[in-house]
Chains A and B, each alone.
Chain A
């Protein structure tokens, strides 16, 4: 029983880590640009597929570094060409735009890489279990969690200590004032969108090593990421981090005792939060209205 619970705790940690990376990217874009990026799951898939294509030439480590950057580049182009056109319009347009674009991206992935699942090869030592007792924990799982932790710390350090990062945080609170202080918010939004896509691409590469690749691999992560943002509180990245871990853990632990309800429990958490603390655990008052 201890092993079962331990197994599911590590599972929850890993699922939670994916939710966190995904939700942080979504949250960045939502906070600054007020856009829900429906195509975020497709950027995740794109990152994974790019790693699949690049790893024969660059090796796994090269692909791990390069494909998130390429994903960010695609995100940058998408923002420049399409999404920036709808910033000043009713939110219905940005939703429809990213929603439709998600369809296109998924179909393109299916067309280019085929509809069937593909594996992403890992370096040998990563697929070994860490010990005989803990046979269910491979080094890859440890590695994934480490990468996520490094990425999250890096993101928070970036937002805290660099000029662009501070501007992004300021823009989250009051974009108009930031603009009137002479900051190029058009650039800021583009950069921020690309940063969100970078995180999605990174989680795509990591996810591909664990569950393999398929054209709609990001879809299952999208809804929990929304819920992580709602639970954690819109406007707070720490909240999103906390929300992602919470629902990842909750889903995994429910699997131990009542497997059928593992999806339902995260929705139950969302309902409870909306009922008793509508702004989310760490959301700013008024941020969600």
Chain B
């Protein structure tokens, strides 16, 4: 009998959203040391920066997708709004990186918050369809408002500004290691907040909704409000990642708003394991590295990216971390 209890108890402890300290140490050590070990294996620092940016966007989306069980296929809209918000602020308003990030995050997050109000009662594919269609609105807006956003060519003529005052100035204008550490610092703060949210009572209500919406409702969890909050918060995180994207490239383009990118975010979550906290970061790593590698090898990269989607869905639906967990609990 006692073995039965043990086998039941094991998956329960493994379901913990934020993993053990040892794992955290390994993840952060790898991230902090990335500029030093990446060149040894043929990578470059800008690639690691992109992994952080897309990883943060995917982890933000995963609060909704993996932890609330609600499918948004339009998160590129908030990512792109973040990027455009930061870029437009830097170009037209003030030459300040923190203010630009704030403006971009607010723009994307608030757009998501307002739109969320309209669609919280939708579920499943219908929710997804509304998010896709709403996302494309911003794509067409950025695409056709040439004078203001640069149209199809994207928004140029802005660049990262140094952070801080006087002797404490931290110059991130050059790419390289210093900017990577800036990205990593923002990523670390955001992911910590996200982790605390997931572990909080609020996070637990989200998982309750994912597992059984009706039962959650009987427990007096305000389902619509929690889904709306989850959608809104995940939009803020994705928008923050979008501002970092604009800073990373000194450039914002309509493709950062296109629904293809939303699909990439979703596949990052699924590929890494959407029921796990760190899965989306792993998925983003695999996706960014593969895309970088494939697009340098062949012009038919679309087929390969599409094939990755199909293969993940058909043969790998639990994702990398999900597979490991399944074997661990079996």
Complex contacts, B317 vs chain A, CB 8 Å:
89, 93
Contact, CB under 8 Å: A278 / B121: yes
* Interface window among A46-54, A103-111, A176-184: A103-111
CB distance from B302 to the nearest CB of A (A): 4
CB distance from B174 to the nearest CB of A (A): 35
Complex contacts, A82 vs chain B, CB 8 Å:
310, 314
Question: Which B residues have a C-beta under 8 Å from some C-beta of A?
Answer: 65, 69, 71, 73, 118-119, 121-126, 128-130, 132-134, 136-137, 140-141, 144, 263, 266-267, 270, 274, 300, 302-303, 305-310, 312-314, 317
What is the CA–CA distance of A288 and B121 in the complex, to the nearest angstrom?
A: 8
Whether A4 sits at the interface, judged by CB under 8 Å, is no
Whether A145 sits at the interface, judged by CB under 8 Å, is no
Contact partner of B133 (CB less than 8 A), chosen from A94, A223, A275, is A223
Question: Which A residues have a C-beta under 8 Å from some C-beta of B?
Answer: 30, 34-36, 82, 85-86, 89-97, 99-108, 111, 223, 226-227, 229-230, 234, 260, 263-264, 267, 270-271, 274-275, 278, 288-289
Contact, CB under 8 Å: B126 / A288: yes
Chain A residue at minimum C-beta to C-beta distance from B302? A107
Chain A residue at minimum C-beta to C-beta distance from B66? A92
Contact, CB under 8 Å: A103 / B309: yes
Complex contacts, B123 vs chain A, CB 8 Å:
288-289
Contact, CB under 8 Å: B133 / A107: no
A223-B133, A264-B137 known; A289-B121 Cβ under 8 A: yes
What is the CA–CA distance of A168 and B155 in the complex, to the nearest angstrom?
A: 48
Complex contacts, A111 vs chain B, CB 8 Å:
300, 303
Complex contacts, B132 vs chain A, CB 8 Å:
223, 226
Contact partner of A274 (CB less than 8 A), chosen from B119, B303, B307, B314, is B119
CB distance from A164 to the nearest CB of B (A): 24
Chain B residue at minimum C-beta to C-beta distance from A235? B126
Chain A residue at minimum C-beta to C-beta distance from B125? A91
What is the CA–CA distance of A263 and B125 in the complex, to the nearest angstrom?
A: 24
Complex contacts, B267 vs chain A, CB 8 Å:
96, 100
Between-chain CB contacts (< 8 Å), 23 pairs: A34-B125, A35-B125, A36-B125, A36-B128, A86-B313, A90-B69, A91-B124, A92-B266, A95-B266, A96-B266, A96-B267, A96-B270, A97-B309, A99-B263, A100-B310, A101-B309, A102-B306, A103-B305, A229-B129, A234-B126, A263-B140, A271-B134, A289-B126
Contact, CB under 8 Å: B133 / A100: no
Contact partner of B130 (CB less than 8 A), chosen from A90, A106, A230, is A230
